[in-house]
Each structure stands twice: as C-alpha cells, then as structure tokens.
Amino acid sequence: MNNGKVIARIQHPTQSKTNKKILLEQIFKYIEKLIKKGKNISGIGIGIAGPVDFENQKILNPPNVVILKNLELGKIIEEKFKIKTIIENDGHLMTLAETILGAGKNKNNVIGITLGTGVGGGIVMNKKIIHGKTGTAGEMGHMSIDRHGRKCSCGSRGCLETYLGEGGIRKTSYEFFNKRIRSYDLHQMARKGNSKAIQAWKEVGKHLGAGLANVVDMFNPEIIIVGGGIARGAGELLMNPAKKEMRKNILSKSAKKTSVVLAKLNEYAGAVGAALLLNQ
Ligand SMILES: [Zn+2]
C-alpha cells in the first residue's frame, strides 16, 4: 500500500494443515513477490486469524491455524527481510481499516465483527485499536450466548462462532434440511425464495443479534460493522433479523438506535488494516 491505496495484491490459500516450516516458506515466497512489486518498502504488516499478543508480537493460540501457536512471526519476518514488521489479529485490523477507509469513516467509537471460517472482531476508539492487557480484546467470536449451547473448538460452549462461522451455519442448515449446506448455497437458496432457507438465515441472524446486543450494552459504540465472506454473501437475509433481535435485547433506549452496517472493504480489509497500522 502507498498513501492509503492498494498498489499490488496477491491472493493464495494458506496451507494451514501442513507444518510450520512449509507455511513459513510459503509466506516468505509471497512476501518476496509483493516486495518486487513496490519500491522502498517501509514496513510489512501481517494479519493473523487468531489471537495475537501485540505488545510481544507473538501469535497466541489460533484455534483454526493450530500450527502457528506461540510463533513470533513478526520477529522471524523482520529478521529475514530486514524490514520493520508487525503482526496483529485480523479482526482488529479489519475494524481499523473499515474505520479509516470504509463503513466507519468519521466515527470514533467502532466495533467490528467478521464472519468467515471463524468469527473475529475488533474495537477501535479514536482510530486506535483497543488491545486489552494481553492483546486479545474484541475476541467476539468466543463470546458465549448460551452456556448449554453448541460445543466450540476453543473448548467452551455456545460461542458466537459456533452459530455464525461457516461450520455453525452448516449445523443450522442441518436443523432445517437434515443435511449440511454451505453458507453460499444457503443464501442462494434463500434468494430464490426457499422459505426454509430464509428461516435458517433468520435463526443465524438472531444469534448474531443476541451477541451484538451484549456488545452494545458493554461498549455503547457509534457503529457496528459486520464483515467477512458470510456477511457479504448473506447481506440483508442475515442483517435484518440480527438488527431486530439486537434492538429487542439492548437495555438502554437510546442505544437501541446504534447503527449496524455491512463492511465496505472486501476480503483484503485485514491486509489493508495491517498496512494502515504500520503508519500509526
Ligand atoms: Zn469458542
């Protein structure tokens, strides 16, 4: 990125199920390719799908990319390329990017939540990420809305991720169709008027709304930005029931008006946020 604009991009799936060495070589290769596309690179920013101890620049325990556990990835990359490097949680970064360049422009008090394979989030106040003591503030995906609910990969029960992540949506689809349906197919079916699919999204939306109500009661934000591939695909099928449920559950009357919007940046929001964070 240069002056808030993306000048080059590469997209490639992460080999998350291999081992640390293969994954690192893969990361190095794509960083090299990107470096060649720019000049005078002043920094490398990296978003991680999992909790990051920002102060110590260390990945903690990502439930979906287990091989990165405890890796000091920032340090490794900085040593390899001799370029200033920072790592940060991708939900935090998406929220920062949306605040500076996307749906949260001109807002000072922003909460982001991203729905994809996993569910992440972030808190940005006065254009700065709130990290908390060990870097894990805003881990919305593992906020439990039902302690007898679905079992989560983190060991807890009823986490938002178990309803709003790709796996969670497939589980919900099973309750309606007796088979697991991908979120993509489920919103295609709903758009064609399949009433059970519409109902399934309503159910998913209610879970999102219950989580968002907790977030509003806790932070009283100006705006909540919902991002990630699932939200982008399902759009209003998900957002309308979510807003309705959220407003029903919020305590304070004035906070019921909190706006909830879809993210404006695309799947690169985390990467864009990482580059923006380097400038702060
Ligand atoms: Zn969990």
Q: Is the pLDDT of residue 267 over 90?
A: no
At 39 the pLDDT is 86
| Model pLDDT for residues 41-55, shown as the tens digit of each residue | 999 999 998 899 999
156 CA from centroid of ligand 1 (Å): 5
CA–centroid distance, residue 139 to ligand 1 (Å) = 9
Rounded distance from Cα 157 to ligand 1 centre (Å): 7
Q: Report percent pLDDT > 90 for the chain.
A: 86
Distance from Cα 7 to the centre of ligand 1, integer Å: 36
Q: What is the pTM of this model?
A: 0.93
**pLDDT tens, position by position, 208-223:** 999 999 999 999 999 9
Average pLDDT, the chain: 94
Asked if residue 123 has pLDDT above 90, the reply is yes
Check if the beta carbon of residue 112 is closer than 8 Å to that of residue 91: yes
Measured in angstroms, how far is the CA atom of residue 168 from the centroid of ligand 1? 11
Scan for tokens 């920094």, then name that residue. 43
Residue appearing with tokens 């919900």: 172
Cα-to-centroid distance, 260 and ligand 1 (Å) = 23
